[in-house]
Every structure is written in C-alpha cells, then in structure tokens.
C-alpha cells in the first residue's frame, strides 16, 4: 500500500462538499445580518472560530463556530456576560430553535418542513476585555464563576500555523472512529506538541510519530493552553484516565501499522453512500456531549467581569 496516498485520500474524503459549504456560508451570512441589525448601535465583531478558521474541519462530524464579541465599554447588548448571552439567545430564538450550551448557542431549524434540522452552527457571545479587541470574556452557564477569559487569535495561530493541520484532522478521525471522546482542543494541543514534521511522507510519519509519543509518554503526557500556559489548568478535560485511554489506543494503532493494516484505523477511502453517511453521522452525533467548547478555555483573572 502507498500509505501516503491512502492517507491523503482519507483526508480528501473528509472535505466538505459544495452543498455543505454553501449551507454553512448561507447560515453564517443570515446570522451575521440578524446580529448586526439587532445590535447595530453596538457594532459587534462577528468572526469564524473553531475548526473552520483553524482549517481542521472534517466532514463526518463538523460545525461552524461564529463568535460575536461586543466592545469592552458597551453595555447596550447587556450589562453582564449572562445578559449578553441571554439577549443574543432571545434574538436567535425568534428565527431558530436554540440549544443552550455552556458558552455557545446551537442553531437548528424552526421551519415546519425542516423542524429540528441541525444547521451545524454555534454562536458564541462575549465581550472584549479592553479596546485592543484581543482577549475576550465569555459567559459560562456551569460552574461557580460563570465566566472565562479567552483569546481566539492566539488559539487560531497556535493550531492553524503549526504545520500540523492535516495530522490534526487524521487524529480527529481516529478519535471519532473509535469513540474516544477526547476534546478537540486536547487533540490539537497534543498533536502540535508530540507529532513530528518530515519532508518525506509527512502524513504517514506525522500521525505515526504522534501515536509513538503518546504511547511512550503515557501518564507523563502534558499540554498547555497557549493563551495562558502557566495559569490555566486543563486537567479537568485531560485527566489520567484520558491519558491512559489514549496510550492504549495509540498502542493498538501502532500494532495495526506494524501489521501493515492502516484500514483498521481509518477504513476505506471510498466515499460513503448517502445511507452509510447518514448512519455514521447519527452514530457519532449520539455519542457527543455538551462539554465546553475548546475555544472557551483561556486565561483567568481575579477581577470578575460584567
């Protein structure tokens, strides 16, 4: 088997098709117009976040993150972060079914003929920390503190410009195929830290080196939030059980590679038919949780924002 060609075909099969891209862009434009008109006196910043802007999106399980951040000294959209979150939620609820997550608002169809259809779009309201419009506070519906500080640009740069985008996409496929449930943010940071770059067979050597280091490091695996490496504890989403599970599945993957059996890891590269695709999506979607989004993890300060 030409492993490099095979892995590239696997990745190519995970690109969104034209119809899916159009649907996402249309939803984004509609939501941006809605937010801009409703909060025209606030002049919010509306941008892509998550896998779309990081270029790590995979077709089998995807969504589009749209951030909506308000100016640090503007209270028109709400006095507090919770008020901003609820005001944006109420606005969206006039046009969509809205599922409240910890920081995000999931958008689904409200039309009678497509009622409940998932648009694969999350809207994340927040407020910039200061006039530099870099760090931002976002509301947290769970926990005592009810807020987190994050920096979207720092996270995007750390992942998108790492040179490991394709390896991250392969790791996400592996994570989904075996139902590991590891948070995307954790996988991204692990790949950037532990995968190796090579000019020859970069996909093959990149994902293999990732598994080799996961297997070798095991309980000593560590990750740091690039926006706040010393002050943000990631252990709640990357505990010892997660490390042990990752190491065990990395061992399995390496054994498959020794057996020249890559298809036991990623399957066939031929595209699924519509029935198979629907079944795969439903199976994966049913296993997902409402855990906090990776972009919600950031620096924290002692001053409680409004």
Print the domain residue range for 229. 160-286
Decide if 265 is inside a domain: yes
Decide if 218 is inside a domain: yes
Decide if 26 is inside a domain: yes
Confidence at residue 225, expressed as pLDDT on a 0 to 100 scale: 83
SS3 state of residue 128: strand
CB under 8 Å to 143, separation ≥6 — which residues? Answer: none
Residues 137 and 248 in one domain: no
**E strand spans, the chain:** 45-49, 64-70, 97-100, 105-108, 118-128, 136-139, 147-150
Q: Could you report the per-residue pLDDT of 35-67, keeping only the tens digit for each? A: 999 999 888 999 988 888 999 999 988 888 999
Decide if 124 is inside a domain: yes
Confidence at residue 191, expressed as pLDDT on a 0 to 100 scale: 98
Give the pLDDT band (50/70/90) at residue 97: very high
Q: Could you report the per-residue pLDDT of 2-30, keeping only the tens digit for each? A: 999 999 999 999 998 888 888 888 888 99
Residues 26 and 132 in one domain: yes
Residues 165 and 282 in one domain: yes
At 124, give phi and psi (nearest 5°): -120, 105
The tokens describing 125, both together, are 């309201």
Residues 214 and 170 in one domain: yes
Q: Structural domain tally of the chain?
A: 2
The tokens describing 92, both together, are 């969206």
Q: Last residue of a domain, which of 141, 172, 196?
A: 141
The tokens describing 200, both together, are 């020859």
Residues 62 and 121 in one domain: yes
Residues 124 and 77 in one domain: yes
Decide if 31 is inside a domain: yes
The tokens describing 242, both together, are 């997660």
The tokens describing 217, both together, are 């490091």
């Amino acid at each position: 088997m030409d492993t490099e060609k095979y892995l590239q075909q696997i990745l190519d099969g995970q690109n969104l098709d034209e119809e899916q891209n159009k649907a996402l862009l249309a939803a984004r434009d509609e939501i941006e117009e809605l937010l801009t008109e409703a909060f025209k006196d606030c002049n919010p910043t509306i941008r892509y976040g998550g896998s779309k802007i990081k270029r790590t999106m995979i077709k089998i399980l995807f969504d589009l993150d749209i951030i909506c951040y308000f100016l640090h000294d503007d209270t028109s959209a709400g006095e507090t972060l919770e008020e901003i979150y609820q005001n944006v939620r109420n606005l969206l609820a006039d046009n969509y079914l809205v599922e409240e997550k910890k920081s995000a608002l999931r958008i689904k169809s409200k039309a009678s003929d497509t009622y409940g259809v998932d648009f694969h779009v999350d809207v994340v309201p927040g407020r910039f920390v200061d006039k530099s419009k870099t760090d931002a506070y976002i509301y947290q519906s769970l926990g005592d503190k009810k807020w987190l500080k994050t920096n979207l640009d720092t996270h995007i740069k750390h992942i998108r410009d790492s040179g490991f985008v394709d390896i991250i996409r392969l790791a996400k496929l592996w994570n989904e195929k075996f139902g590991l449930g590891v948070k995307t943010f954790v996988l991204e940071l692990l790949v950037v830290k532990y995968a190796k770059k090579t000019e020859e067979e970069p996909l093959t050597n990149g994902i293999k080196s990732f598994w080799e280091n996961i297997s070798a490091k095991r309980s000593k695996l560590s990750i740091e939030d690039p926006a706040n490496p010393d002050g943000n504890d990631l252990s709640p989403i990357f505990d010892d059980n997660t490390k042990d599970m990752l190491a065990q599945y990395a061992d399995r993957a390496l054994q498959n590679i020794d057996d020249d059996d890559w298809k036991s890891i990623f399957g066939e590269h031929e595209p699924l038919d519509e029935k198979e695709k629907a079944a795969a999506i439903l199976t994966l979607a049913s296993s997902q949780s409402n855990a906090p989004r990776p972009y919600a993890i950031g620096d924290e300060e002692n001053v409680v924002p409004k």
